[in-house]
Structure 1
């Protein structure tokens, strides 16, 4: 739930009004060519959309649980016609990487790893403060 880029931006092609949820708020008017930032990191961390959002839980994205994800609340590559052009390639790359790693190595948490993870504040893309450290132990290939 750490999207590589913490936000996506969109430019409005026509004026749009976002109506408030409560009577003590004013409508938000977005003009033509107004720039909108969609903070996917904040959406991914919102307990309104994800139970225990800071917990590492890959099963929340399993086929059995996929129906529980509300539309437009999981945005690792953005959505719509202007989503990341490389999203399918990136997913294919990561699947191949994990396949090769799990086929050949036992993975563990590296000694330098700091837990719980904290976001580094010195970059545009999401990275872990202090780095992301794994240990790899070569598996016996004779079995």
Structure 2
């Protein structure tokens, strides 16, 4: 199985990370109270993406009989749990830290899963740069709050 990232994988992989980068830039450049709105939107968007990725990971296990069901279920539950937790904790700084950790987990675990056949093979090349880009946007938001 090829680990070449298809064009739609690049577009649908990196495209959803751009709002997080924009939020990070916006937090540092927008006037007035707009940085707070940008950061709140980043938290919501990042959580939605992480929950979606949980479904993608679990869905791959349903469609591929050779994938490890326990590994897919564990990854999906972890991603989804982090996403939900980030939306209910009382402090935005904690939400951003949880989401950054969740994104780092995806970058690490989906890369490994792509190599082992528990996710599409191209995830081994895509997920690291994709989710670290999103993580950079989240880190910029966090840094603005902590300044």
- Higher percent of residues as strand: 1
- Higher percent of residues as helix: 2
Whose Rg is larger?
1
TM-score computed with the length of structure 1 as normaliser: 0.32
TM-score computed with the length of structure 2 as normaliser: 0.31
Q: Which has the higher contact order (CA 8 A, sep 6+)?
A: 2
